[in-house]
Structure 1
Amino acid sequence: MSAGFWRAAVVVGVALALWAAFEWGVPRQGSLVELPPLPALRPNQRLAQAQHLFPNDWIGPESFAFDEQDRMYAGLADGRIVRWDGASERYELFARTGEDLPECGTYEARRATPTHQYTLEGRSAADTRWCAEPRCGRPLGMKFDAHKRLIVADAYQGLLSFSPAGDERRVLVAGSELTFPNDMAVLPGEEGTLLFTDSTHKHRRRDVMLEVLDMGGNGRLLAYHPANGSLEVVLADLHFPNGVCLHADGDSLLINELTLFRVIRYYFRGSKRGQVEVFADNLPGTPDNIRRMHSTGHYLIGVGAKRTQPFALLNSLSPYPRLRDLVAFLLPRRWASWLDENGKVLEGYHDPAGRTAWISEAEEWKGHLYMGSFTNPFLARIKIDDEQH
């Protein structure tokens, strides 16, 4: 090729580099996370066999709780909390965390640009629905306390408490005091302290992918003390703290750090009180919620965006804020995984075709594994057998 061609190529390359620096931002030093090679896991088709229950009705069943009568409670994208006995084809409305609006619960609105203003004037129908989410409410993690009240972390409304009948709603911590309340655990004991994650102080849930791609230590673990209504910061500078689960020892809490692909263990009592250690590292994808299987003692993790080697998308794009925005909704989710009692990654539930994707939580219930999602328009279920243990 001629020298003129190469000169033109250099000019174009420099121009593109300058445009990229202006448009997407200069790379930020220190934002990359060095990750070890991925663990080798045997692929399978288990997740591909899942049944889809309540299609186009249960939109985004993110998380579950179970009462003393062994009924399932699920929080949906439109702000509803529904209750189901697992046997019939019918369920009932238990409560709502926000307003009942026609715009609630439509997830196609995620196409709205991350930097848009959240006003209704001049918006498309999709944008209007997305803007309405803070008013509709978005229930995420939920647990029952010792008084049989359902405690719900709503991404916008805050930390809420519902009576057993669902007809009384109390605000424990207002949404204005938090940015992204996510998941919780009720500590054993008479006081019933709630430990819950506030995933980030920078972005609300509707801009969740900006936080994922930011990869910063913007999150916290908080404690709510019911006896006096006080709120305490337990841990800070966490990297998208997401799902939490009590460890079997009763003295520690497992916390998923989504953007570091790991699970940490925080000791809230005992000889190691206040200490933090890594429980599971180098996970095959972004961990969402974590729950313990009653039958085996293993820990189930809803795995979000799958990691690939040698090119790690989240890691490589983290210095470029504007470029991250363009790919924020292109990450595939089609995996659930489990850990043993020592944090070792065992196997998982895979769906290479992506028919059952975007898994947020997996719960063992009545001989089946039920899988939630923040976006799927159904509740996924597969039968548990000995081979899957």
Structure 2
Amino acid sequence: MYLKWGFSAALLAVVLGFYLLPSPIDPEPFTFDKPQALIGPLAVNRKIHQGKRHFYGQLKGPESFCSDREGNLYTGTVDGKLWRIHGEQINLITQMGKNVSGCGTPDYEPECGRPHGVRMDSEGYLIVADSYFGLFRVHPETGEKQILISNKEGVDGIPFRFLNGLELSRNGTIFFTDSSSKWGRRHHRYEVLETNHLGRLLRYDPVKGEAKTMLADLYMANGLALSPDEDYILIAETSIARILRFWLSGTKAGMKEVFVDNLPGYPDNIRMSTTGTYRVGLSTTRFPGFFPPFLDAIAPYPALKRFIVKMTPLAAYSVLLRKHGLFLEVNHNGEIVDSFHDPDGSVTWAISDVYEHQGQLYLGNTDLPFLVVLTKDSK
């Protein structure tokens, strides 16, 4: 009996000790709507199973893509490297930071760099948003880097902590996002758990060399896509499963509105297709079921989230995430018109980007060791 009471007292002391420890996060309450039913355009299918993995073990986390007129594809990986892909050949362009043995692991990301958004400008240079260092202009052949604006410099007196999404207008204006003014990329799970609104949409004028904040108070601002007429821009708010529309011109200029809400997962990059729809990669799914998704369930309870974070190592959250690959097609009215699934994750999951190139779809990811290519007409 005494042994039993002693064990209970020790267990209570451990739990109380964890409770009294300071938490690394300061979350805000948020309430999600019930996830949409997986019917109609969202019905589960196996379309992604037609895809093939390429460059296994050579490209880790090819997050975003762009291409040039010669058909070369460009991407950045989690080890801080920028690559050119042509057919079955890959060539290293440059290392965004230092090239050390630990590159590719979270502890070394601030030293090695992490290129996220990658776009090609009208002069044939790569514009790169590196999460740790800033906005760059990179020569695609020599790898020579020119810093346009650094994370330390930031905008409006606020340094960048997590540069992420990127989009270029036809006149050369660079739109980009800083996902958080608090958490860096390697702590992005803390950003999601906090459900804070410390993200920004920013604009850089390459002629004047000036940057400005266009929209603040965003929930983990992520991928971007300009409309065909460039009268508005879409912004993924990853942590609350939502996409905003911000009007750049016309009678609504300067106004924001919800474009699509209550997505069946957390949106990453947004890309325009050749048919006029927007393709949205989902980093993690949130599906209906007997129990609500884990992040949905804890979102309204800041105290619970603080306690969970104190009890659980950051890397352990991956165990709670379903390996269900999914990307969506959304029309100009914000309606989901199609979905592409890999329900068992046998080809890919954590889809970051869906880039259409030469009749194929290139599916990016955040940290998996391969690139997936899918024939565009796969059904």
Instruction: State the TM-score, normalizing by the size of structure 1.
Output: 0.83
Tell me the distance in 2 between the aligned counterparts of 1:277 and 1:195. 18
Specify which of 336, 339, 343 is matched with residue 330 of structure 2: 339
Match of 1:35 in 2: 33
Secondary structure (helix, strand or coil) at the match of 2:193 reads helix
Tell me the distance in 2 between the aligned counterparts of 1:201 and 1:85. 36
Tell me the distance in 2 between the aligned counterparts of 1:155 and 1:37. 30
Tell me the distance in 2 between the aligned counterparts of 1:288 and 1:245. 11
Match of 1:146 in 2: 122
Structure with the bigger RCO (C-alpha within 8 Å, sep 6+) is 2
TM-fit CA distance, 1:75? 0.5
TM-fit CA distance, 1:95? 2.1
Specify which of 318, 322, 346 is matched with residue 329 of structure 1: 318
Specify which of 282, 287, 291 is matched with residue 303 of structure 1: 282
Match of 2:136 in 1: 160
C-alpha distance after superposition, 1:84-122 (max 9, x if no partner): 223xx21222222112212212xxx4xxxxxxxxxxxxx
Percent same amino acid among aligned pairs? 34
Aligned length in residues? 352
Q: Please list, as runs of the form range in 1=range in 2, the aligned pairs for 1:199-278 lying within 5 A after superposition.
A: 199-278=179-258
C-alpha distance after superposition, 1:351-373 (max 9, x if no partner): 12112111111111122111011
Secondary structure (helix, strand or coil) at the match of 1:227 reads coil
Tell me the distance in 2 between the aligned counterparts of 1:20 and 1:38. 36
TM-fit CA distance, 1:234? 0.8
Q: Please list, as runs of the form range in 1=range in 2, the aligned pairs for 1:93-132 lying within 5 A after superposition.
A: 93-105=92-104, 109=105, 130-132=106-108
Secondary structure (helix, strand or coil) at the match of 2:89 reads coil
Contact 2:27–2:196 (CA under 8 A) maintained in structure 1: no
Instruction: State the TM-score, normalizing by the size of structure 2.
Output: 0.85
Structure 1's 322 and 24: CA in aligned 2 closer, same or farther, altered over 3 A? farther
The answer to whether 1:77 aligns with 2:48 is no
Contact 1:245–1:255 (CA under 8 A) maintained in structure 2: yes
Secondary structure (helix, strand or coil) at the match of 2:100 reads coil
Contact 1:332–1:358 (CA under 8 A) maintained in structure 2: no
Specify which of 168, 185, 195 is matched with residue 167 of structure 2: 185
The answer to whether 1:378 aligns with 2:364 is no
Secondary structure (helix, strand or coil) at the match of 1:212 reads helix
Structure 1's 34 and 132: CA in aligned 2 closer, same or farther, altered over 3 A? closer
TM-fit CA distance, 1:18? 5.5
TM-fit CA distance, 1:149? 1.4
The residue identity in structure 1 corresponding to 2:211 is L
Contact 2:27–2:306 (CA under 8 A) maintained in structure 1: no
Tell me the distance in 2 between the aligned counterparts of 1:29 and 1:147. 43
TM-fit CA distance, 1:28? 7.8
Structure 1's 13 and 254: CA in aligned 2 closer, same or farther, altered over 3 A? same
Structure 1's 382 and 164: CA in aligned 2 closer, same or farther, altered over 3 A? closer
Tell me the distance in 2 between the aligned counterparts of 1:42 and 1:24. 43
Tell me the distance in 2 between the aligned counterparts of 1:30 and 1:174. 29
TM-fit CA distance, 1:36? 3.8
Contact 2:66–2:118 (CA under 8 A) maintained in structure 1: yes
Contact 2:270–2:278 (CA under 8 A) maintained in structure 1: yes
TM-fit CA distance, 1:375? 0.8
Q: Please list, as runs of the form range in 1=range in 2, the aligned pairs for 1:349-364 lying within 5 A after superposition.
A: 349-355=340-346, 356-364=348-356
Match of 2:269 in 1: 289
TM-fit CA distance, 1:24? 8.1
The residue identity in structure 1 corresponding to 2:91 is E
Aligned CA-pair RMSD: 2.6
Contact 2:281–2:326 (CA under 8 A) maintained in structure 1: yes
Match of 2:296 in 1: 315
Secondary structure (helix, strand or coil) at the match of 1:328 reads helix
TM-fit CA distance, 1:32? 2.0
The residue identity in structure 2 corresponding to 1:185 is E
Secondary structure (helix, strand or coil) at the match of 1:274 reads coil
Contact 2:27–2:194 (CA under 8 A) maintained in structure 1: no
The residue identity in structure 1 corresponding to 2:372 is A
Tell me the distance in 2 between the aligned counterparts of 1:332 and 1:224. 37
The residue identity in structure 2 corresponding to 1:32 is F
Match of 2:360 in 1: 368
Contact 1:33–1:260 (CA under 8 A) maintained in structure 2: no
TM-fit CA distance, 1:29? 8.7
